[in-house]
Structure formats: C-alpha cells, structure tokens
C-alpha cells in the first residue's frame, strides 16, 4: 500500500484536489489489492499441494490418504483421478485470481489497437 500511495497517479489525484479518502479508495486500494489476490491464490495452491503430507502426518483420511494408499497399491485409476482433481483445483484457483485481477485493474479490460 505504501508503494501505491507514493506512485505518480496517486500524487496526480492529490494534486487535482481530491479528498484523501477518495484518493485512497478509488486509486490506491484497487491497485494494492492485486498482489494480495495473487499471493492468496499461490498460498491456496501450496495448501492443496501439501495436503498429502498433512493428512499422512496427522492420520486424517482424505484425498492425500487416498493418494498414498493408491500409490502403495498401484491403483492407477485412483491416482489419475486424485491428480486430475488437484490439477483442476490448481487451474481453477489461478483462473479466479486472474479474473479478479482483470476486474480490479481497469486498464487490463480495455482493448489495445
């Protein structure tokens, strides 16, 4: 947020005479939320990747346990299903993060000639 508040477009909005509250809400907040969205998406992706270790460590039944049991038993269809599910979660989280980024930054929505 401090980097965004020191940027040129925020300084220009202040020079135009806009109230500080409006400058922060309209100009600074939108651009400072984007790294939070992308970072949260990466954290969710890492959490889905670490599901196997956590479930094995705490003996909690779930996808990680199903995956380790399928690998031990050489059950290829189950392995493929769990990996496909985890990969789809990865793609879905990235897609949602990218769509939120496009919604938050107006210049990404405009078409360039």
- Distance in angstroms (rounded) separating the CA atoms of residues 89 and 51: 12
pLDDT in tens, 18-65: 898 988 888 788 778 888 999 999 999 888 888 888 888 888 888 888
What proportion of the chain, given as a percentage, has pLDDT over 90?
35
Which of 3-7, 32-36, 58-62, 93-97 is least confident? Answer: 3-7
pLDDT at 72: 95
Q: Among residues 69, 73, 68, 41, which one has the least CA distance to residue 52?
A: 68
- State the average pLDDT over residues 1-10: 81
């Amino acid at each position: 947020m401090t980097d965004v508040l020191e940027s040129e477009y925020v300084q220009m909005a202040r020079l135009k005479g806009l109230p500080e509250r409006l400058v922060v809400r309209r100009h600074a907040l939108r651009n400072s939320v984007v790294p939070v969205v992308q970072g949260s998406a990466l954290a969710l992706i890492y959490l889905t990747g670490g599901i196997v270790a956590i479930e094995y460590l705490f003996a909690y039944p779930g996808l990680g346990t199903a995956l380790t049991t399928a690998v031990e038993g050489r059950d290829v269809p189950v392995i493929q299903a769990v990996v496909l599910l985890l990969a789809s979660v990865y793609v879905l989280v990235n897609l949602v993060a990218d769509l939120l980024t496009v919604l938050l930054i107006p210049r990404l929505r405009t078409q360039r000639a």
